[in-house]
Structure 1
């Protein structure tokens, strides 16, 4: 018989579990809404959750789980992403909190969450709702930063175990449970775990907004009382620091999606007055380790996670939060029973005329230069022999010339890693998590580098 796990942690009914429309939502009200929506859902095996409000997204996710419906969570709402999702589940209806009047998308059916909630409430099963640990509640998709997005099914038991381990680590650093404000997309695994599951299953408080601009971040934080956790990315943090925006007191900062440079981490902790933790994980594995960047480069595994190396040198991460052993695709060096060093993703390592570096490191250097608003290195397809391979870079720097940027780079990198060409662009398309996808980089290469040999 499958083991059952609670839908929400056991807390008093009047415990505030979320902020929605600038008002607190109690556990009792949130649970009643979940039950109400669950009774209104049709008998389907899966839905595509397109809710744009974090509150309605979370409520819908849990209502579907309670009803035994798997939620498909596209990493973006672009037509290309959604087409790929419906290719896997052509009969899945769209679940929307605010369906558009006109759309090029043609899902088999559209379920309006708000309209369903307005229907008369049907009788719900009494008692505390629970879900089988083995039940697949979500299918998540990679962001496509390293290639074509891939899908991964997530079961309730491993998700709960991951949240428990993460909340113990984060709340210890923050001094207690926090209200969670996130600049990141809740469709991505990082945002799903940190801004939805962490507050709801880990004893924190969920917030509705997904602010991007610094003033909006400050306003969102100011709406919630008590301890505050800001979940963000290196890209968003840099923009926040550049804006010199005053923020309400913070108790913890969390960053992921790309390695964070030490100077940015030091500045963030100094200006924002809170410790900053980076979290390591992947869509396949979930969150598995953290580090405080200002205290060193070593990562410490979360409780219940274990790194194992086979005879061929391959690594797997396993534990209750993974469900089953998952391969690790990054290059790691195990340094202790629960610690490791992150070398890089294999695809980010470059070898130019016998000298090695990392695209992640070079991107950190590039974006730290004065006057550089944004930038990304890439390795274009070789046009001749392997000896002719050179790096290129795209840079947003309105007040800097290419020569000035190259001169500044020389102080930090070997000359063979200077980008040739260095292309100045007006902006770099990034997704909601601050990532530049592989498809975007390839499009920039086709647009700007064909036949180009120098800056």
Structure 2
């Protein structure tokens, strides 16, 4: 195999370079590689692994050790028992990595503990074939069965390096990276694990959620600091009003980031805000500064092609030619603008809009903390007019006040009836309101009432 087909497991750096912070202690590159090598010797070569470590640093050790042994790490979109059982049926040789004291889901397992790993044993830097499959990431399929997406070392390595160039430039240097998002999903994997490891930053093992914990974790990191989050988590952080350590930059994804929230974040935290565009299938492909611009700038080498209403991405790290899930308006300067998701587009009384746009309008109403439009089915009467509904978190507000505010901003055909007021929406760990959760809300609050 020629040299261009081989890549180092980590980019070149001095052995004493700090590459992670774990439980308040700086981890050098020498220690990291020693622990990766020690764990790799305990892994059967090529056996598929389910990495369920809850600690981000231990997850990273497990991922790198698996790559060193030629093993594929399976990253499911959910860890409910039925999901894991289905995964085990498809991959009967599955071995689970976990930092818990008990065997997860009754699977064959190996416990990952730093106490059992060396701290200073010299270890060579492995070289990895660029074409080696290192992960299989699962997304929710249209049939309800999770769909696997293979990820190979070369594209993941190069994507992280490309993203680091743009992010470090914005932040003023390579960052210590703290994330509020799960790292088994693509956004968290790319931005809180691969970005610091492959991009020359510092990985933080903690995953705080509550604002006070975020502030404490950030304060323990060296500057410049990058906070990787979501619009939902970011709004919660800002609403808390707690003082935060100085940040180099903020990064958001998983849902559109309203411009007013981005502006508020930049003013409150005195740091530039970037937003990532990508998908599980493509990886991260573009960024924008949502406080200043609406358009997206693709990474170098990314090509977008239009065929009818669909846009296809290829080039750089994108593995193949992949249809994007969004309606996109390509612009003359190679940038692009998001119009809405294909699955979100609705047509009521001959007028088109997108649920994402309507959600944006809803959440921009003063007093509304969270909200989501939906289009309940009319299976009982196919000729009945379609009517939107909305679930809203707005303490102290009445449904009619919300409709009145919407009436000034959207066409009357898109006004929701009913408006269901809730204490909170059942968002998942990445801040998304899944189709399953939304269907549950419709069943509980709309269909039963009807």
Structure 2 length as normaliser, TM-score?
A: 0.94
Q: Deviations over 1:223-263 (max 9, x none)?
A: 00110111111111111111112100011111101111111
1:315 to partner: Cα distance: 2.3
Separation of aligned partners in 2, 1:255 and 1:321:
21
Partner SS, residue 239 of structure 1 = helix
Shift of 1:146: 11
Query: Kindly tell me: are residues 198 and 120 of structure 1, through their superposed partners in 2, closer, same or farther at Cα, counting changes over 3 Å?
Result: closer
May I ask how many residue pairs the two structures share in their alignment?
Answer: 446
1:239-388 residue pairs with structure 2 within 5 A? Answer: 239-310=236-307, 312=308, 314-336=310-332, 338-382=334-378, 383-385=380-382, 388=385
SS of aligned partner of 1:254: strand
Cα distance change, pair 293–61 in 1 and its aligned pair in 2 (3 A): same
2:386 aligns to what? 389
Counterpart contact for 1:421–1:452, Cα < 8 Å: no
Task: Give the secondary-structure state (helix, strand or coil) at the position aligned to 1:226.
Answer: coil
Deviations 1:318-376 (A, max 9, x none): 12311322222211111135311111111111111122221112112222323323221
Partner of 1:131: 128
Q: Retained in 1: the 8 A contact 2:231–2:252?
A: yes
The yes-or-no answer on 1:430 pairing with 2:427 is yes
Going from structure 1 to structure 2, the CA distance change for 1:452 and 1:415 (only over 3 Å counts) comes to farther
Provide, for residues 178-198 of structure 1, a one-character-per-residue CA deviation record: whole Å limited to 9, x for no partner: 000111111110110000000
> Is the 8 Å Cα contact of residues 330 and 346 (structure 1) preserved in structure 2?
yes
Query: What residue is the counterpart of 1:10 in the other structure?
Result: 12
Q: CA deviation at 1:120?
A: 8.6
8 A Cα contact 2:262 2:273, kept in partner: yes
Q: Distance in 2 between matches of 1:296 and 1:186?
A: 28
Partner SS, residue 309 of structure 1: strand
Write the distance in 2 (CA, Å) between the matches of 1:179 and 1:399.
Answer: 40
Kindly provide the CA deviation profile for residues 116-140 of structure 1, in whole angstroms up to 9, marking residues without a partner as x.
x62799x98x632111100000111
Shift of 1:422: 1.3
Gaps of 5+ in 2: none
Q: Normalising by structure 1, report the TM-score.
A: 0.93
Partner SS, residue 357 of structure 1? strand
Query: Gapped runs of 5+ residues in structure 1?
Result: none
Q: 2:44·2:69 contact (CA, 8 Å) conserved in 1?
A: no
- Report the Cα offset of residue 421 of structure 1: 1.3
> Is the aligned partner of 1:235 residue 2:237?
no
* Cα distance change, pair 56–431 in 1 and its aligned pair in 2 (3 A): same
Ranked by relative contact order (alpha carbons within 8 Å, sequence separation 6 or more), the top structure is 1
**CA contact 2:223–2:247 (8 Å) conserved in 1:** no
Query: Higher mean Cα deviation, 284-293 or 344-353?
Result: 344-353
Task: Calculate the aligned-residue CA RMSD, in Å.
Answer: 2.2
Q: 1:227 and 1:95 mapped to 2: Cα distance? A: 32
The answer to whether structure 1 residue 39 and structure 2 residue 41 are counterparts is: yes
Cα offset, 1:40, TM superposition: 1.1
Q: Distance in 2 between matches of 1:384 and 1:99?
A: 54
Question: Which residue matches 1:118?
Answer: 116
Q: Deviations over 1:87-119 (max 9, x none)?
A: 431320111011447x6x232x0111128x627
Deviation at 1:313, TM superposition (A): 5.4
Alpha carbons of 1:188 and 1:144: their partners in 2 closer, same or farther (altered >3 Å)? farther
How many Å apart are 1:143 and its aligned residue? 5.8
Kindly indicate whether the alpha-carbon contact (under 8 Å) linking 1:146 and 1:437 is maintained by their aligned counterparts in 2.
no
Which is further off, 377-386 or 350-359? 377-386
SS at match of 2:358: helix
CA distance in 1, matches of 2:40, 2:389: 51
Q: Distance in 2 between matches of 1:79 and 1:136?
A: 26
Counterparts of 2:416 and 2:75 in 1: how far apart (Å)?
Answer: 37
